Amino acid sequence: MSWFMFALIAILFWSGSDIFSKIGSRPDDPYSHWKMVMAVGTVMGLHAFYMMATGTPFEMMDIVRYLPASLLYIFSMILGYAGLRYIELSISSPICNCSGAVAALLCYLLLGETMSGLQLFAVVLVTAAVFGLAVLEKQKDDALRLQEGVVVDRKYQKGVIAFVFPLLYCLLDGLGTYADALLLDTVIAEEQANIAYELTFLMMAVFAFIYIVCIKKAKFELFRERPKVIAALCETAGQFAYVYALGANAIVAAPMISSYCVVSTLWSRLFLKEKLSKAQYAVLMVAFVGIAILGME
């Protein structure tokens, strides 16, 4: 299977993870994001054990070999969550989602990977669509708040600290993708990298369980958390495809896969019945044109 097909699979499942995460997010639950970590880590851990049980070779040192990429991804996620205390998601999102472009730039400058002129044009289209969608979401949120007379909390104002977190997320996630491109097939193969990451995430899930259930005495009701479990299944499937796409063509795959947030907007329209403006539909078309061009290359 080509890198492009793996990238499409990653986009499909990660956009699904995004939409089910939204469905499963409960504003009244202060531990909702930690429960998401529990769900994702558990599903990933089970998948890792399944791969090892069905004959995929793996040794514990693989966790150490892949740890630079794992830690960069994990730390970027933590900073992303922490940053939402200081900056609105509609402002943070366009900065965070530029990590694919950062990764492509690092692969070009440091690894010497190249892309054709048409691929570059397509990557620019996809990156512009990701950024443009976030800008439209920001305008939509501002108009809604103005209509309802809502005043934004002072802590969300655009001070220096407000931009530190999403910028660090963008940098660390981009470095994580670069580390992936550097490690895959030279230090560790895709299968072992995937298992290593999943086991690292399982460790996070164990930590989250100890923190939530043992220390905070909070309840985790599996039946109520079904959307989180579905999101975890999608996240795991997307991660499996992601490492193969990245191992084959990181400089193009990274910015392309970052467009999963654009596709999740389409799922919001179809499944959550959220209304999209003409400008949002136009952005979706720009992203799909860019993806189609990459598929023809």
Per-residue pLDDT of the chain (297 residues; tens, 9 = 90+): 788 999 999 999 988 887 887 777 766 777 777 888 888 899 999 999 999 999 999 999 999 999 999 999 888 877 766 555 555 545 555 566 677 778 888 888 887 888 888 888 988 888 888 778 777 776 776 666 666 665 545 444 445 555 677 778 888 888 988 898 889 868 999 999 999 999 999 999 999 899 988 898 887 777 777 888 998 999 999 999 999 998 888 888 888 888 887 788 788 777 777 777 888 888 888 888 988 888 776
- CA–CA dist 245, 253 (Å, integer): 6
Contact 225, 73 (CB under 8 A): no
Contact 212, 31 (CB under 8 A): yes
Gyration radius of the chain over CA positions: 19
Contact 220, 258 (CB under 8 A): no
Q: Which two tokens mark 222? A: 């599996």
CA pseudo-torsion sign 191, 197, 198, 200: positive
At residue 188, φ and ψ (nearest 5 deg) are: -150, 145
Contact 288, 122 (CB under 8 A): no
Contact 130, 262 (CB under 8 A): yes
174 Cβ partners below 8 Å, 6+ apart?
Answer: 99, 100, 101, 102, 103, 105, 106
Q: Which two tokens mark 190? A: 């895709």
- CA–CA dist 12, 125 (Å, integer): 19
Among candidate residues 9, 5, 297, 258, the one with its CA nearest the CA of residue 126 = 258
